[in-house]
């Protein structure tokens, strides 16, 4: 637990603008970073594998792709596998023990993949991809074609996230202002459609302590909580960001703690049980903050990444165990 009291650690990725960062589910010091050239608008992308050590951030390897990489997920059944989603509509699978890659690239989406997620329940090893082509696809990493395509959103799918509790269930957030809940056995239509406000929803996440609660982050700079047992109105609304919320994450160590990052260059910490405003605001970036993750192994530790070519690992004061 010596990691807890260390000052923030920065990793710089010159010429690569950060889109997504994720801690390894296996190793507390390891991170993956998905990034793109030219703010992801044109040019290539890179997957960075980084270890956070007492001496600082150490680059273990990096892997280049011909288009920007917008999201990543670690495999839940192999500590060396990472999946990414690219601006060319392709999903890549990387083995980080190999000097180059990917070991597999699968392309069915007709526009950018903005979201990738590996299933969270032990009996399934499936991948979701959410795309600007308005669809979500389901993949088995052992197969060369998708297993299903989920159609219904009327705009870009920004986020598709597996339930940590219910096998085969996932949520999606879209530019059509809806949050949708799906069952992989019924790809033809969503099980629940929640009109979640009057703005595009860019991000969603499941509460790790209650299988019925999700949170969304929107272009209107608000975070909203939703109870699937009564989704007509949000169970809470949080305000403090001044621009669109790019990513919101629920803490794996607290039922009511959230973190969010935004195009307002900040990361904010929340406790939805006690405050409708942030309990802490972090201002260490000078560009859009796009990626955010909690460390499953180190309570209260967070990583974020931004378009300023900087990835930060730190322990927000408000989330430290008392």
Tell me the CB-side half-sphere exposure of residue 255, using CA atoms within 13 A: 7
Mean pLDDT of 176-205: 96
Mean pLDDT of 148-159: 98
| Residue 7's pLDDT band (cuts 50, 70, 90) | confident
pLDDT of res. 321: 77
pLDDT of res. 122: 77
* Residue from 86, 255, 96 nearest 164 by CA: 255
Say yes or no to pLDDT of 39 above 70: no
Whole-number Cα distances in Å, 178 to 191, 218, 226:
13, 10, 12
Mean pLDDT of 155-181: 97
User: Tokens 């083995």 appear where?
Assistant: 95
| Residue 40's pLDDT band (cuts 50, 70, 90) | low
Mean pLDDT of 238-258: 98
Q: What is the rounded distance in angstroms from the CA atom of residue 144 to the CA atom of residue 110? A: 17
Torsion of CA 280, 286, 291, 296, to 10 degrees: -40
**Tokens representing residue 67 in the block:** 């288009």
Q: What is the mean pLDDT of the chain?
A: 95
- Could you tell me the maximum CA-CA distance found in the chain, to the nearest angstrom? 51
Residue 294 near residue 24 (C-beta atoms within 8 A): no
CA 320 to centroid of chain Cα atoms: 22
| 2: three-class secondary structure by DSSP | helix
Q: What is the rounded distance in angstroms from the CA atom of residue 239 to the CA atom of residue 220? A: 10
Torsion of CA 82, 78, 211, 208, to 10 degrees: -80
């Amino acid at each position: 637990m010596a990691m807890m009291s260390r000052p923030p650690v920065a990793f710089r990725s010159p010429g690569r603008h950060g889109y997504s960062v994720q801690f390894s589910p296996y190793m507390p010091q390891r991170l993956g970073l998905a990034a793109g050239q030219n703010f992801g608008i044109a040019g290539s992308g890179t997957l960075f594998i980084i270890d956070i050590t007492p001496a600082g951030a150490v680059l273990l390897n990096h892997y280049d792709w011909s288009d920007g990489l917008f999201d990543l997920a670690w495999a839940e059944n192999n500590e060396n596998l990472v999946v990414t989603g690219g601006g060319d509509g392709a999903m890549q699978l990387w083995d980080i023990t190999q000097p180059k890659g990917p070991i597999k690239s699968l392309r069915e989406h007709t526009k950018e993949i903005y979201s990738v997620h590996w299933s969270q329940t032990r009996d399934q090893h499936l991948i979701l991809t959410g795309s600007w082509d308005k669809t979500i696809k389901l993949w088995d990493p052992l197969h060369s074609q998708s297993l299903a395509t989920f159609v219904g959103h009327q705009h870009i799918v920004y986020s598709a996230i597996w339930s940590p509790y219910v096998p085969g269930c996932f949520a999606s957030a879209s530019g059509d202002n809806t949050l949708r809940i799906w069952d992989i056995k019924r790809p033809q239509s969503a099980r629940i459609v929640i009109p979640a406000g009057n703005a595009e929803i860019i991000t969603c996440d499941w509460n790790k302590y209650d299988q019925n609660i999700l949170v969304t982050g929107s272009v209107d700079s608000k975070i909203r909580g939703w109870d699937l047992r009564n989704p007509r109105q949000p169970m809470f609304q949080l305000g403090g960001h001044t621009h669109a919320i790019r990513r919101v994450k629920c803490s794996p160590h607290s039922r009511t703690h959230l973190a969010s990052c935004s195009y307002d260059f900040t990361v904010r910490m929340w406790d939805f049980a006690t405050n409708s405003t942030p309990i802490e605001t972090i201002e260490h970036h000078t560009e859009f903050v796009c990626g955010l993750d909690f460390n499953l192994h180190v309570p209260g530790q967070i990583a974020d990444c931004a378009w300023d070519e900087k990835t930060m690992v730190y322990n927000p004061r408000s989330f430290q165990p008392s």
